[in-house]
Amino acid sequence: MSDEELGQNSKVGRIPAISTAPLIPPQALEGVRTRRIIAVCLDLLLVSTISAVVFLCLLILSFGMSALLLPPLFPIVAFFYNGLSISGARLATPGMAFMDLEMRAFNGAPASFLQAAVHAVLFYVTWLLPPLLLASLLNKDKRCLHDIIADVIVIRRSNKSDPLR
């Protein structure tokens, strides 16, 4: 096979098509940054509490023998907390739901478990370089860098008068 035939039949080396933004009403993005900050604080409290309870239970059940194995517990709990709650029926973590937010795939579909979990990992990695969070200020749809990489968008929930909500 020639190089041209390989290039046409193989996805290796292709640049993925850039997804275009769906039509997002301006009211869906009103106050999203402030609400996200508060939602993150609430979720950090919940994840910390869950991690502490699981840590203590495992520590007691193993008579202290697992103390050295438990430090990575917080990231594991955060991974599943975000993945399961965002890919669930509410499309949001409890903190996001409390702040009237939801996360969707950028094309408007519900976010998958993998997207939500990858988003959480990227979010915690972003904390190592906080200036990366400023990307939200330069983006018209208020997406942070980890949102863009995970191909998700955080929006306000639909109008309360919507009968489906």
- Nearest alpha carbon to residue 108 among 22, 19, 31: 22
CA 12 – CA 22 distance, rounded (Å)? 27
Query: Do you know the residue count of the chain?
Result: 165
Tens digits of residue pLDDT in 52-95: 999 899 889 988 888 787 778 888 999 999 999 999 889 999 99
Question: pLDDT under 50 in the chain at which residues?
Answer: 1-17, 161-165
Ordered alpha helix ranges (H), the chain: 3-9, 32-61, 73-86, 94-98, 113-126, 135-138, 145-150
Note the pTM of the prediction, 2 decimals.
0.76
CA 74 – CA 88 distance, rounded (Å)? 21
In this predicted structure, what is the pLDDT of residue 22?
A: 63
